[in-house]
Amino acid sequence: MQDMTEHELIAHSLQHNAQAYAVLVERYKDAIYYHCFAIVRDEDQAEDIAQESFISAYYKLDQFDQSRKFSTWLFKIATNNALTHIKRSKRTVNASEEQLESIVSPHTTPHRSAEHDELHRAIAKLSPRDQAIISLHYWQGLNFKEIAETLSKPEGSIKVWILRAKEQLRKELG
Amino acid sequence: MNDLDKDLASYKPRPSHEVSTAFTHRIVDHITNNEPAHRSSHFKEFFVNIKLHKSAAVLTAIAAVFLIGGSAYATDGFTKLPAFLNAFFAGQSVAPDKSRIVAIDTDDCHVDYYGVSGNKASGDRRHLYRIAEESKVTADELLQMVQGNCEAGDDTPDQNASKNSQYAADFTAKLGKDFYEVTPCNTDPSGYCSVHTDTSSDTADKKSATRTLVESAYSTYLDAYGSDNTSTIQTARETFGNNFAAAGLKSKIVKNPYSYDAVLCAQGTPLSIKYGSPAVSGKTATMILTMNYGESNSKVTVTVDTSSNKISDITCSF
C-alpha cells in the first residue's frame, strides 16, 4: 500500500479503507503540523488542529476534486481550521518571549543566527492570515495560484498580501 | 530573489517536538469507529451528540430544528430546504454608515470566515454580517446562503445538493463584496463592528492595498526600466503588464511601440516619484503620482480595480 499513488490511495479511502488513508496521513502529517504550528505557535494546538483537519478531510473526501492537488486541499482545510481556532479563541498571536524561544529553525539549531532571531520575532507580529500565507509560500512551497486556491481568494490578492507582509517585515527588521 | 526572500526561504519555524507517534493511529481509530464515512448519516451523528449532551438547552434546540427545519417555505425566490442543520434569522439593525447588520444563529453548523465550510461545529453560534449599503442582498437571501453553505459542507439529502451547492457558491462569491462577517459590537473595544473577514474589503484596507500595489508596480518598473536598452525596457513593460495591470491596460503597455512610455506618461525616467493618497469609491481606487523631472513635474493618475488588485488605467496630465 505504501507504493500506491495518491489517486489510488484516495480511491481506496473512498471505499472506507482506513489503512489507505493512514498512508496519506503519514505522507502529509509533518507538513500540515508544521503549517498549523506556524499559525497557532503552540505544539499541542497545532497537533490537534492537524488531526482534526485530517479527520475532516476524510469525511469530505468525496467532495475532493481529484484534478487538483490533494496537498493543496489539505492545506486549505488546515489553514481554515487554524485561523478559525485563533478567531474562536479570541486570542492574538503575539507570542511571548518564551513561546518565541520555542520556535527553532532546523537550519541553525541550536545556535540560531541573530538575523533569524529578528526574523522570527518580526513574523510573529504579522496577522495570522499573513503568517499562513508566508508559511504556505516560503516553507510549504505553494505558488501564488495554489495559495489563492487554498484561501479561496484571487491570485492578485495573494500577491498584494505577500508584498504587504514583506513590507511590514522590512519595517520590523529596520 | 532579494535578501528578505532568501531569509524567509531559509528560515522555517519548527515546533520543539514532532507529532506524537500515535498521531496517525488516533486518526485511523477515529474514522474506523465513526464509519460510515463520506456519506454518514448526519441524522445519526446529531442524535449521538444529543445523547452526549443531554441538556435541556440542546433538547430545546432539537424542537426548534424540527419545527423550522422540517418545514419548507419560499421567500424572494429562495426556497428553504428541510434540514437538520439550520441557520436562524436573529435580528437586523442599520449601522451608522447605512450598512445593515444581520444576526444569524447557526445550529450545529459551521461557516468559517473564508466562506468555505469546515468542520461540523457543536452547539449554537451567532454570526453577524454587515451587508454593504449599496448591496441588494436581503437578509432572507443572506440567511439562505449561510444555510446552503452550511449544508453543502455536510451530509445533505441528495435532492437538495445542487441547491445547496448554488447557495454555497453565492455565499463564497458575495462574501467580501456584498457582505462581510463582523465581530459583535459589544465585544469590539472601538464600539463599532469591525470587519474581520477580508481585510482588503473595507475602505482603509483598499487604500492600503492600492498604495502597496502602485508603489510596488512603479518601483519595480523603475528598477527594471533604468536603461536605454530597448529589450530591457520591453521586459520591464511586460513585467508591469503581467504582474500589476489588468488585461486591457496590459496590452496597451506591452504593445506600445513608441519611445513615449504609457506607464510613466513620459519619454524619460523621472528622478523620483511622489505618491499621493489613494481615494476609494466602490470597487475603484485612484492615486495621483507626481513625477519629478527636476525642473518640471508631471501628474499621472493611476486607477486600481480593488476587487482584482490590478491597475486598470493610467492617465496622464501635465
Q: What is the mean pLDDT of residues B249-259?
A: 76
Task: Reduce the DSSP state of residue B287 to 3 states and report it.
Answer: strand
- List chain B residues with CB under 8 Å of A59: 31, 37-38, 40
- Partner A contacted by B308 (CB < 8 A): yes
Look at residue B223 in the predicted model and tell me its pLDDT: 73
Q: Which residue reads 507504493 in cell numbers?
A: A3
Identity of residue A149? E
From CA B157, how far away is CA B154, in angstroms rounded?
10
Please name the helix (run of DSSP H) or strand (run of DSSP E) that holds residue B285, with its range, or none: strand B284-292
Residue B14 touches chain A, beta carbons under 8 Å: yes
Residue B45 has pLDDT above 50, yes or no: no
Beta carbon pairs, A and B, within 8 Å: 162
What is the spatial distance between Cα B128 and Cα B106, in angstroms, rounded to a whole number? 11
**CB proximity under 8 Å: B 223-282 to A:** 243
Which among A47, A167, A169 has CB closest to B212?
Answer: A167
Q: What is the rounded distance in angstroms from the CA atom of residue A66 to the CA atom of residue A86?
A: 30
| A60: closest CA of chain B, how far (Å) | 6
Whole-model pTM: value is 0.45
Say whether A163 and B216 touch across the interface (CB within 8 A).
Answer: yes
Provide the H-helix boundaries in A15-154.
Answer: 18-40, 43-59, 70-89, 97-102, 114-124, 128-134, 144-151
- Residues of chain A below pLDDT 50: 90-111
Using a CB-CB cut-off of 8 Å, the residues of chain A touching B14 are 34, 37, 103-106, 109
Residues A70, B43 contacting (CB under 8 angstroms): no
List of residues 6+ apart from A82 with CB closer than 8 A: A35, A36, A39, A40, A46, A49, A128, A132
Min distance A126 CA to chain B CA atoms (Å): 13
The answer to whether B277 and B287 are in contact (CB under 8 A) is yes
B92 touches chain A (CB under 8 A): no
d(CA B104, CA B109): 11
DSSP string for residues in B206-243: HHHHHHHHHHHHHHHHHHHH-SS-HHHHHHHHHHHHHH
Residue B252 has pLDDT above 90, yes or no: no
**Among B11-25, B135-149, B156-170, B256-270, which stretch is predicted with the lowest mean pLDDT?**
B156-170
DSSP state of B119: S
Is the torsion defined by CA of B184, B188, B192, B197 positive or negative? negative
Q: Is the pLDDT of residue B303 over 90?
A: yes
Please give the average per-residue pLDDT across B180-208, as a whole number.
53
- Model confidence band, residue B36 (pLDDT cutoffs 50, 70, 90): low
Residues of chain A with Cβ-Cβ distance to B38 below 8 Å are: 14, 16, 59-62
- What is the separation, in whole angstroms, between the first and last Cα of chain B? 36
Instruction: Encode burial over A91-120: b for 16+ CB neighbours within 10 A, e otherwise.
Output: eebebeeeebebbbbeeeeeebeeebeebb
Q: Is the ipTM of this complex over 0.90?
A: no
A153 CB neighbours in chain B (<8 A) are: 114, 198
What pLDDT, on a 0 to 100 scale, did the predictor assign at position A21? 94
User: Are the C-beta atoms of B262 and B256 separated by less than 8 Å?
Assistant: yes
CA A47 from centroid of its chain's CA atoms: 12
Sign of the CA dihedral A23, B120, A154, A169? negative
What is the model's pLDDT at position B8? 86
- Between chains, do B11 and A170 touch, taking CB under 8 Å as contact? no
CA torsion sign for B11, B16, B21, B26 is negative
Q: Which one is predicted more confidently, B41 or B94?
A: B94
Chain B partners within 8 Å of A38 (Cβ) = 13
- Beta-bridge mates of residue B311: B245, B304
Residue B9's pLDDT band (cuts 50, 70, 90) = confident
pLDDT for A33 equals 95
B11 and A83: CB-CB below 8 Å? no
- B66-110 pLDDT per residue, tens: 333 333 333 333 333 333 346 667 677 776 667 787 877 766 554
Q: Please answer yes or no on whether B116 and A76 come within 8 Å at the CB atom.
A: yes
The average pLDDT across B292-299 equals 79
- Please indicate whether, in this complex, the C-beta atoms of B11 and A56 are within 8 angstroms of each other: no
Contact A166 B4 (CB under 8 A): yes
Q: How far apart are CA A88 and CA A56, in angstroms?
A: 18
Partner-chain contact A163 B112, CB within 8 Å: no
More confidently predicted of B43 and B131: B131
Q: Does the beta-carbon distance from B31 to A119 stay under 8 Å? A: no
| C-alpha dist (Å) from residue A77 to A53, A126, A143, B196 | 6, 21, 17, 19
The x, y and z cell numbers of residue B178, run together, are 456584498
**Could you tell me the three cell numbers for B81?**
430546504
The residue assigned the cell 449601522 is B95
Collect all residues of chain B within an 8 Å Cβ-Cβ radius of residue A134. Answer: 8
Q: How many residues does chain A have?
A: 174
Residue B183 at interface with chain A, using a CB cutoff of 8 Å: no
Mean pLDDT of B53-60: 35
pLDDT at B273: 85
Which residues of chain B are within 8 Å of residue A41 when distances are taken between CB atoms?
13
pLDDT band of B228, cuts 50, 70, 90:
low
Is the predicted pLDDT of residue B315 greater than 80, yes or no?
Answer: yes
| pLDDT category of residue B220 using cuts at 50, 70 and 90 | confident
Amino acid identity of residue B243, one-letter, is N
What CA–CA distances, in Å, run from B300 to B179, B218, B242, B268, B303?
Answer: 33, 12, 20, 14, 10
Tens digits of residue pLDDT in A107-125: 334 445 666 778 888 888 8
- The per-residue pLDDT for A29 is 94
